[in-house]
Chain A
Amino acid sequence: MPVERVRALGRSLEDAALTADDVRAHLVDEGDLDGPLRTPVELFLDRHRTLAAALAGELRWLGPTVVGIADAWVQLDAALLLPAPGAEPGR
């Protein structure tokens, strides 16, 4: 496993959550719409805000999970490569 690249992928996924946050910010209902489209637009914005929040939440979970897998791999690797008892350091 290319650990650093996988960690970078995880961080990039978590960063992508910020984009989903921006999407959500654009879909805030500012309440200045009137007329027959007021309610349909409100509902539409609400549905897409929910989606944007869900995408952000998923990416915030996915990113650290990927980083965690890379970290776990490093720990496993370190455990497997422990020097044998009595072995000289660095050899």
Chain B
Amino acid sequence: MTGPMGWPLPDPVRLDPPPGDPAALADVATRLDAAATLLGDLRERLGGAPAAACGWAGDDAGAADAQVARVGELARSAAEALVCAAARVRRHEEVLTDVRQRLAQLRRAQAEDFDVAVARMGAGADPGTGLPGPGAAAAVADLVAAEAGRGGQSAGMLTEVDVDAAATAAVLADCGAVPDGRGGAGDVRTLEDLLPGWHAATLQQRGAAFAAAFLRPDADPTDMTELAETEAAARRLLPWAGNGAVAAAVLTGLGADGVQEALRLLGDGSLSAGSALAGVMAAVLGAPVPTGAATGVARARDARHVDPDDIAGLDADHVALGMGVVLAAARRQGLAGPPPAAVREWGRQIIGRERELGSEWIISSRSRASFARPGDPLVEVLDRLARADGGRQAAELLGGEPTWSHLLSRSWEDGGAALTAVVERAAAEPGSDGDLVVRSGLRALGIGLADDGDPAGWTVDRDTATLVTPALADAVATRPEVVVEPLARAASGEGEQDRPVLRGLGYLSAEPEAAVVLDRALSQASGAPAVRAGYLAVREYGQRLDHALHEFAAQEAAIRRHLTTAMVTEALSYVKRGGDEVADALTVLSVVLDADGTWDASPDEGLHFAAPCGERGAAAAYGHVAAVLGAPTAPTSPPTDWVGLIAALVPGGERARDVVEAGVGVVEEARELMDADAD
């Protein structure tokens, strides 16, 4: 800095006011006091056990007074905290105001000192040379000393303000809104415990907001960014999704259409069972919702989400797959998941669609490229119902023979584990529910078989049946009356209506391990000779049926192979040059490769159970039951066409065919003559 005529002067010390506006602080303190007064008023209004005071008695009144008192106590402690904070803020405002005033005084003194110094330097100055007067050096020295003093005072004042601000901040931090709440999330958690009504309302808002965001009209579920946003929102909601209020808000907010859309999204392979959305759906569908919301929740949850015969697109299949994803999420993430009754309905919807369109229909709609390929939803349904709390619903699902028939007709990705488990669980249900399960299972095993055992109308997958056989045999052993009564009826010459059950029992008894269980159970269950004899007829039927089914399967395979070669041979007949030669070669090959419609029959090495002798009426009972069951008869393979083979192989084979056929005719005539002589 320079003085008059460029004389050097020291730079003035900065004496800026400290940060902070006293007026703003005063305003804050005033508002804190006003809020404290209102809270004090609130405390007064809530005091004195108002429920009891108005003559209301009982537990409800006591609970109401306790909650009112809790609210009042929070208001009181918050009012005290606000008063304390207001006082401290006001004190800091006073410190700030004082420092600002003292700094203003220093600035005024500084200005005066500089004016004095310039005056002293100018006194005696040489106008010609412009040099300062003789007192200039002293004037500058005095000014420098005064500035140093002011600088020290200013720094001290600023420090004073800083220290007081820190002390004020500490008081504000200590004046918490909630006793022992420690601020932030800690406060909220404490309040959630103390104020359940507010907590429920808050959670409800979160659930409703999630549903509204999911259903926003411009949502594009195929957009990966939006999918990520949905997943992020679900992740935020997941910790609360098991709360009844949240679940009710989510489900009533989504409605049946929204639930269906969420299931579809999960089923199309975009999100896996480990996703937050799957977790949220598993949690909300299993949460115990408030009574008042139960109807709306049921409307959303229990609607028919899977259209059984919609083939316009894959939506219905993806919804079904989404059901499986939700159930898998519940299992993997340890969440409640839909209640057994809802799972039973899901099972019925899935089975309904598969029965309509084919058992592989739904799972074949899964995207192979998807990283989150859903599992078989029916496996998840059965797995859930196989748990301890699902017995009644498992029995209700398996109480119908059509359901059983479907379950036995399909293959299972889990090796039949879930099916076996649910059969065990359902059959263990006490009373008529369990009886119906066992009876339906046996009927499903037997229905569709012709009297001769021809399985043309039979839909059972024998591999699947083998998986279930031990569980079903155990179930029959647990409640033998399910088969004893039909056996008794059939043994008495009735029992036409019991044919499928008895045929199913026969099929079951063909499995050696199952037979051991059944033999023991039936021998203990009934001492009636007719029933025992009838059971022997069932065992005989089972053995013959097992062989017949084996041969029918061999026949079917042989026909399938033969059809292929026949079609190719037929096609070759239209080839003008060389077609016949190739066709002949193919005929030879078909014999060699076992594709000529024949098969190697296997002998019936099964056990035989003849009618018992000695017991009165037993043979008749055996005959009656056998008549009801029918007589499985294994098909026989047609003979290999050796003559045709020779005709095709040997040059001039057609001539050889004539000779052989003539020879065969002579031999047959000779045999007939010999037979006549013998007679």
Residues of A within 8 A of B (CB): 1-2, 5-6, 8-9, 12-13, 16, 19-20, 22-23, 26-27, 30, 32-37, 40-41, 43-44, 47-48, 50-62, 65-66, 69
A37–B24 Cα distance when bound, in Å, is: 11
* Closest A residue, CB atoms, query B54: A5
30 contacts between A and B (CB under 8 A): A2-B55, A2-B56, A6-B56, A9-B54, A9-B56, A26-B35, A26-B38, A27-B31, A27-B35, A33-B20, A33-B24, A36-B162, A37-B25, A37-B92, A40-B168, A40-B173, A41-B28, A47-B181, A48-B35, A48-B82, A51-B191, A54-B191, A54-B198, A55-B71, A57-B195, A57-B197, A57-B202, A61-B198, A62-B197, A65-B197
Within the complex, what minimum Cβ distance (angstroms) separates B162 from chain A?
A: 7
Q: In the complex, what residues of A have CB within 8 A of residue B187's CB?
A: 47, 50-51
Give the total number of A-B pairs whose CB atoms are below 8 A apart: 159
A2–B31 Cα distance when bound, in Å, is: 40
A57–B278 Cα distance when bound, in Å, is: 31
Q: In the complex, what residues of A have CB within 8 A of residue B81's CB?
A: 48
Q: In the complex, what residues of B have CB within 8 A of residue A22's CB?
A: 38
Interface residues of B in 193-218 (CB under 8 A from A): 195-198, 200-202
A9–B184 Cα distance when bound, in Å, is: 33
Q: A2-B54, A5-B54, A65-B197 are contacts. A41–B20 as well, Cβ < 8 Å?
A: no
Contacts A50-B188, A50-B191 given; 19 further ones with Cβ under 8 A? A9-B50, A9-B56, A16-B42, A26-B32, A30-B27, A33-B25, A34-B24, A35-B19, A35-B20, A36-B166, A37-B169, A44-B172, A48-B177, A54-B198, A55-B74, A57-B202, A58-B71, A60-B198, A69-B64
Q: In the complex, what residues of B have CB within 8 A of residue A13's CB?
A: 46, 50, 68
Q: A50-B187, A50-B191 are contacts. A19–B166 as well, Cβ < 8 Å?
A: no
A6–B60 Cα distance when bound, in Å, is: 11
Residues of B within 8 A of A (CB): 18-21, 24-25, 27-28, 31-32, 34-35, 38-39, 41-42, 45-46, 50-51, 54-58, 60, 64, 67-68, 71, 74-75, 78, 81-82, 85, 89, 92, 162, 165-166, 168-169, 172-173, 175-178, 181, 183-184, 187-188, 191, 195-198, 200-202
Q: A23-B42, A41-B172 are contacts. A33–B21 as well, Cβ < 8 Å?
A: yes
Within the complex, what minimum Cβ distance (angstroms) separates B530 from chain A?
A: 57
Within the complex, what minimum Cβ distance (angstroms) separates A16 from chain B?
A: 5
Instruction: Find A61's partner among B50, B177, B201 (CB 8 Å cutoff).
Output: B201
Q: Are B172 and A40 in contact (CB under 8 A)?
A: yes
Within the complex, what minimum Cβ distance (angstroms) separates B78 from chain A?
A: 5
Q: Are A33 and B28 in contact (CB under 8 A)?
A: yes
Q: Are B198 and A40 in contact (CB under 8 A)?
A: no
A25–B509 Cα distance when bound, in Å, is: 80
Q: A16-B42, A62-B64 are contacts. A47–B197 as well, Cβ < 8 Å?
A: no
A26–B35 Cα distance when bound, in Å, is: 6
Q: Are B38 and A66 in contact (CB under 8 A)?
A: no
Q: Which of B172, B184, B201: most chain A CB closer than 10 A?
A: B172
Q: In the complex, what residues of A have CB within 8 A of residue B71's CB?
A: 55, 58-59, 62
Q: In the complex, what residues of B have CB within 8 A of residue A48's CB?
A: 35, 78, 81-82, 177
Within the complex, what minimum Cβ distance (angstroms) separates B88 from chain A?
A: 10
Q: A23-B38, A32-B21, A58-B195 are contacts. A50–B177 as well, Cβ < 8 Å?
A: yes
Q: Are B34 and A26 in contact (CB under 8 A)?
A: yes
A30–B21 Cα distance when bound, in Å, is: 13
Within the complex, what minimum Cβ distance (angstroms) separates B204 from chain A?
A: 10
Q: In the complex, what residues of B have CB within 8 A of residue A65's CB?
A: 64, 197
Q: Which of A1, A20, A35, A61: most chain B CB closer than 10 A?
A: A35
Within the complex, what minimum Cβ distance (angstroms) separates A42 from chain B?
A: 10
Within the complex, what minimum Cβ distance (angstroms) separates B584 from chain A?
A: 92
Q: In the complex, what residues of A have CB within 8 A of residue B68's CB?
A: 13, 62
Q: In the complex, what residues of B have CB within 8 A of residue A16's CB?
A: 42, 45-46
Within the complex, what minimum Cβ distance (angstroms) separates B222 from chain A?
A: 39
Q: In the complex, what residues of A have CB within 8 A of residue B89's CB?
A: 37, 41
